[in-house]
Chains A and B, each alone.
Chain A
Amino acid sequence: MQADWIWGLGGGLLIGLGGAVYLLGNGRIMGASGILGGLLDGSGRNTAAERIAFIAGVIGMPLLIGLLTGGTPDTHVTSNAAVLVLAGLLVGVGTRVANGCTSGHGVCGISRLSLRGIAATAVFMLAGILTLAVLRQLLGVV
């Protein structure tokens, strides 16, 4: 448990390196919701191939690592189907309406000191903090 922050920092460096490759290579902002959402709603039709290649890496590399090492992290994700569907819908709609999520607004936006990126990150983190404060600390339901 003491090494969690080292894994966090190292994993974070890899995430930032991925964003750097996507920016310096393809000239694009590495935003998970934008890359997937543009594929799903048709707005990214012209760049569909590189979006699919990116997503193949996101899904495929952890799969490959799992197969090679024989171990994958525990996700501790809830088994409450109603909560999963509600949260999934909120994340899907919210990230696309706001035009970004933790990677696009968070990592890529903050690192270029984008006001929109900083503001969006502050708002979704606050909303998440309030959600946990109310649903976990007050009501004890999540």
Chain B
Amino acid sequence: MLRMFLALAAGSLFGAGLMFSGMTDTTKVQGFLDIFGNWDPTLAFVMGGALLPMGLAWRLTEGRKPAAGGSFPSPPSAELDRRLALGSVLFGIGWGLVGLCPGPAMASLSYNSWQGALFLAAMACGMIAAPAVSRHLDRGAASA
């Protein structure tokens, strides 16, 4: 029950933050990526604001256990593989095309009209197809 409540609270903060920060406005997101156009720095402030509490949270994990039990994520891997690179390229192209990434696509569902719902549905299909794409990439890597 505590896990559910904390997840709901975290999601609520995340959703409210995305809404207030302007990150569900595709003009601002595309404006940040459009460095050769009328550049909009808002996304940098959002990222900076988010990194502060998150950086502090990582420091607080040292020598502690999660409040709702279990354990903290293991230290990050330093391995850079083709899945990370290729997946990020595909994601970046899609992100640039419309200006929505997974968080804002969900947060704006209630006010993003049919366009947001269509994007979210296509994104869900992509997520369902992704494991097959990953396996294909891994096979390619093994035979290369």
Contact = CB atoms under 8 A, between A and B. Distances in A.
Interface bin, chain A: 35 or more
Interface string A9-48: 1111111111111111111111011001100110100000
A79 B115 CA distance: 6
Interface in A83-108: 83-99, 101-103, 105-108
A49 B5 CA distance: 10
Contacts, number: 493
B125 A102 contact: no
**Which of B88, B92, B124, B133 has the most CB atoms of chain A within a 10 A radius of its CB?**
B88
Contact of B51 (A8, A16, A51): A16
Contact of B130 (A41, A53, A110, A112): A41
A111 B54 contact: yes
B53 A66 contact: no
B106 A36 contact: yes
A103 B93 CA distance: 17
A24 B60 contact: yes
B110 to A, nearest CB: 4
Contacts of A87: 93-95, 97-98, 100, 119, 122
Contact of A89 (B43, B94, B108): B94
Interface string B121-144: 111111111110110010000000
Given A83-B97, A116-B79, A131-B33, A73 B103 contact: no
A92 to B, nearest CB: 2
B9 to A, nearest CB: 6
A56 interface: yes
Contacts of A32: 14, 101-103, 106
Interface residues of B, number: 118
B119 A117 contact: no
A95 B70 CA distance: 26
A59 interface: yes
Interface in B64-102: 64-73, 76-80, 83-102
Interface string B1-37: 0111111111111111111111111111010011111
B88 A11 contact: no
B68 A124 contact: no
Given A87-B122, A119-B88, 4 more contacts: A76-B99, A84-B118, A89-B125, A111-B50
Going nearest first, the 8 A-B pairs with the smallest beta carbon separation are: A92-B126, A11-B21, A12-B49, A127-B92, A57-B11, A88-B122, A98-B87, A90-B94
Interface of B: 2-28, 30, 33-37, 40-58, 60-61, 64-73, 76-80, 83-103, 105-113, 115-116, 118-131, 133-134, 137
